[in-house]
Amino acid sequence: METAKGRPRVSLRDRAGYLFDRTLARSTGTLMGWLVITCLAVVLPVSTLLVWTDPGSPRSLSGRLTAAWRTSAETLRLGAASGTPLRLVLSAVLGLVALLCVSTLVGVITTGLAERMAELSRGRSTVLEQDHVVVLGWSDQVTTVVSELVAAQAPHRPRAIVLLADRDKVEMERLLTARVPPAARGLIICRSGPASDPEVLALVSPRTARTVVVLPSAEPTGDAEVLRILLALRAVLGAGAYGPPVLAAVRDDRYRAPARLAAGPRGTVLETDTVTARLIAQCVGRPGLSVVLGDLLDFAGDEFHLADGTAFHLDSFGATLLCHPNSCVVGLLTPEGRTLLNPPADTVVVPGSRLIVLARDDASTRVESCRHLVDPSVIVSAPSEPDRPTRLLLLGWNRTAPLVVGQLRRTAPPGSVLDVITDSAVPGPRQPEPEDTKRSGADVRFRSAALSRPETLLGLDVSPYDGLVVLGPDQGEGPDRPDDWTLVTLLALRLLEERTGHEVRLVTELVEDRNRPLASVNKGSDVIVSGKLTGLLMAQIAQNRHLAPVFDELFSPEGAGVSLRPAGRYVLQDAEATFATLVAAARDRGECAIGYIGHESRTDAATQGVRLNPPKDERRVWNAEDHLVVLATDPGTAPAPVDQADSTGAAASAAP
């Protein structure tokens, strides 16, 4: 409805509401006045009604009014004095003053407690701990790192784990405590604030910490933030101070050298993208290897330790392999601090050297000869055939894809072919230069296709390929999460398998571990959760800094690495033999056997048949489908020149 002048007509109800809102907004006194009026408008009529309906109330009007006043005064806590109007007014004034004082006192106490609780919830109090582990920053690896550090704690010497990140403290505690057992939740202490601020960083007491771990965020500026945190840590510790060991992670190789300088002489820098690329390249054509690597890196089973090598001084390294019944020897740590993984069997163990072993813990390693367990009659002595050229297919593109391509080019046998198909919306990489192709083991070919369309995937001919790699897009590209595209691609490839009857052996990368059960893959494929594996690696190095060179070589394209070999290369098929026999057979081929994958247990979703560090006296019938897990140096992985375009480097670089 409009007025004569064309203006909309305002109803009386709307105008009254508007005036009431403006009145309440004037001041606190106005609000209190309305509150008093409202209370009196309710209490006085109700009190009067109660008195007038009470059969025992006084008969006179003055008596009833006095009774109504007392009821109202008791309700409002204004006092119950009666008599002359002056006494009633004074009683009301005293009651109002008392109510004001009590309400003010309650308000002051409530406000103080609320501010204190808010301050505690923000996590801004100083941590007074000794020999604790400090984790700075927040990333997708943080839950894995913290849960593994908790698992690595000795029962008799638990250490606090202090996390500082620019996130809500309550939210951090909720996410972290969900990953650790209830008995260990008291070890986790969260503080909120920017770790790159020296004043905030001092709250977690890094001077008294056992080690400091710096994680990169998933943001584009995550590596730059790591540098700022390392510089803030140097400012807190002081110039030339003997601080705790520092483990930092960066994603981009360009930040590795500055991070090493900022971390100081006791710092170790890990390149997560490079590690992820090496994991993917190593798992191509080796189904089950990701489970082996995960078992090696977590603290739930066997992991790498240093054992005393005094009993083997001046003996050969090969002699040590059959002298540990409940652990697997894989290398040497020289007196100069040099790490030798899978050295030649005739390498002399010089005085002062220590053995690198795969064992349950430091105390479980014992020395005892196992040579009597070896049965030479079942060992295969024929040399292994060289690996044939392979054809590989890579679908998708992200920031780690150039590193994956570089790793596959180096590790593939000569004559191999790597086809790379990227989405038409993603800028494809440049074609490799002729000199790059000549020195690599695989010929790399690029083309574009609309991979986001299912019909494109269903139209692929995957039968000529020996292996397939699926890489999801980077975070932040498009409205969907990276794993969504990957899961859709895996479903299309699974449907393609059903149509053609050809099983595709693929390796795929996921960002979130919770999506792993959703990945539709066959038993000959591997799913790599990059954040989880790099988080496990960081936890291992944080707990055992002296083993950083061991993991560096394991994930390097040169030197020794974890491989899977058919058991038929070492012992006769369907022959019964001890694990010590396979250790001896692997030693004769220049390898260190550390476990096996049994065909009868591959259906186990948790272990997929992987058994690391079995006792040397364990006997079983070795089937043609069994695989031996060995540390080996492949002939095709000899060191090659590295250019800037390959973006590779040391996976974990200790600062000089």
254-285: per-residue pLDDT in tens? 888 899 888 888 888 888 888 888 888 888 87
Please state, in angstroms and rounded to a whole number, the distance separating the CA atoms of residues 195 and 551: 28
Please state, in angstroms and rounded to a whole number, the distance separating the CA atoms of residues 254 and 227: 12
Alpha helix segments (H runs only) across 470-578: 482-500, 530-543, 548-554
What is the DSSP code string of 49-77? HHHHT-TTS-SSHHHHHHHHHHHHHHHHT
Q: Give the residue with greater pLDDT, 641 vs 510.
A: 510
**Domains along the chain?**
20-122 (no CATH), 133-244 (3.40.50.720), 286-383+561-632 (no CATH), 391-527 (3.40.50.720)
81-98: per-residue pLDDT in tens? 555 666 566 566 656 655
Please state, in angstroms and rounded to a whole number, the distance separating the CA atoms of residues 87 and 207: 69
CB neighbourhood size of 456 (10 A): 16
Residue 573 has pLDDT above 80, yes or no: yes
Q: What rounded mean pLDDT belongs to the chain?
A: 79
pLDDT band per the 50, 70, 90 thresholds, residue 628: very high
Residue 207 has pLDDT above 50, yes or no: yes
**pLDDT in the model for residue 424:** 63
Instruction: Copy the structure tokens of residue 258.
Output: 């500055």
Alpha helix segments (H runs only) across 238-271: 256-263
265-297: b (≥16 Cβ within 10 Å) or e: ebbbbbbbbbbbbbbbbbbbbbbbbbbbbbbbb
516-532: average pLDDT? 78
**pLDDT in the model for residue 576:** 92
Which one-letter DSSP state was computed for residue 426?
S
Residue 16 has pLDDT above 80, yes or no: no
Is residue 87 within 8 A of residue 81, CB to CB? The reply is yes
469-487: per-residue pLDDT in tens? 998 888 765 556 778 888 8
Q: Select from 603, 635, 600, 640 the least CA-distant residue to 620.
A: 600
**pLDDT in the model for residue 629:** 92
pTM over 0.85, yes/no = no
Please state, in angstroms and rounded to a whole number, the distance separating the CA atoms of residues 472 and 399: 10
Phi, psi of 586 (to 5 degrees): -70, -35
Q: Select from 385, 327, 399, 262 the least CA-distant residue to 615.
A: 327
**pLDDT in the model for residue 29:** 67
300-326: per-residue pLDDT in tens? 778 888 888 888 887 889 999 999 999
Q: Select from 643, 611, 63 the least CA-distant residue to 296.
A: 611
Please state, in angstroms and rounded to a whole number, the distance separating the CA atoms of residues 333 and 309: 9
